[in-house]
């Protein structure tokens, strides 16, 4: 057997297996790269009711029994401090706002878990959403 065909066989085997380190194979991206920004999450899941500027005037708001909250005044209503944990708990359904009566707002935690059942991307998505809501607060 000549050396040329043997080298060709070795080259084909190496190409089929790929590098031993796994380089070149699809890698799972870190959670921060697999979820949208807080603004994108807001637009996709919140703006229909709360409106594009988060003041409670979304296109669906008129059809609801109770007007959606103005999300730009959360901190003002809490003495100037934005209650991150409380906001997160409300979004994922761990707590309710008494003034809302029945739960008209969808609980997004379970939906986000359906979209991506891994905890890290869901936690990143929720954190980014709460971060975004914090940036909307009026002074």
Domains in the chain (CATH in brackets) are 30-135 (1.10.760)
Counting Cβ atoms within 10 Å, is residue 68 exposed (0-12), middle (13-18) or buried (19+)? buried
Query: Average pLDDT for residues 97-120, to the nearest whole number?
Result: 56
Q: How far apart are CA 19 and CA 15, in angstroms?
A: 8
Task: Identify which of 75, 68, 132, 138 has the alpha carbon closest to the alpha carbon of residue 105.
Answer: 68
Distance (Å) of CA 77 to CA 17, 81, 101, 102, 137: 61, 8, 19, 21, 10
pLDDT above 90 (res 110):
no
Q: What is the pLDDT of residue 115?
A: 60
Tokens of 11: 């080259």
Q: What is the pLDDT of residue 133?
A: 97
32 contact partners, CB below 8 Å, separation of at least 6? 124
Q: Is the pTM of this model over 0.85?
A: no
Tokens of 96: 């309710």
- The per-residue pLDDT for range 17-51, each reduced to its tens digit, is 444 444 444 444 444 455 689 999 999 989 998 99
pLDDT above 60 (res 69):
yes
Task: Identify which of 28, 35, 30, 27 has the alpha carbon closest to the alpha carbon of residue 124.
Answer: 35
């Amino acid at each position: 057997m000549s050396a040329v065909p043997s080298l060709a066989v070795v080259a084909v085997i190496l190409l089929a297996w790929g590098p031993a380190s796994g380089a070149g194979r699809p890698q799972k991206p870190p959670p921060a790269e697999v979820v949208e920004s807080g603004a994108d999450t807001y637009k996709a899941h919140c703006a229909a009711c709360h409106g594009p500027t988060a003041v409670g005037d979304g296109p669906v708001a008129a059809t609801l029994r109770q007007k959606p909250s103005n999300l730009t005044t959360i901190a003002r209503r809490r003495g100037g401090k934005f209650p991150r944990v409380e906001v997160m708990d409300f979004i994922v359904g761990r707590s309710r706002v008494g003034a809302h009566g029945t739960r008209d707002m969808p609980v997004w935690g379970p939906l986000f878990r359906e979209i991506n059942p891994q905890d890290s991307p869901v936690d990143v998505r929720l954190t980014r959403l709460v971060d975004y809501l914090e940036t909307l607060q009026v002074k």
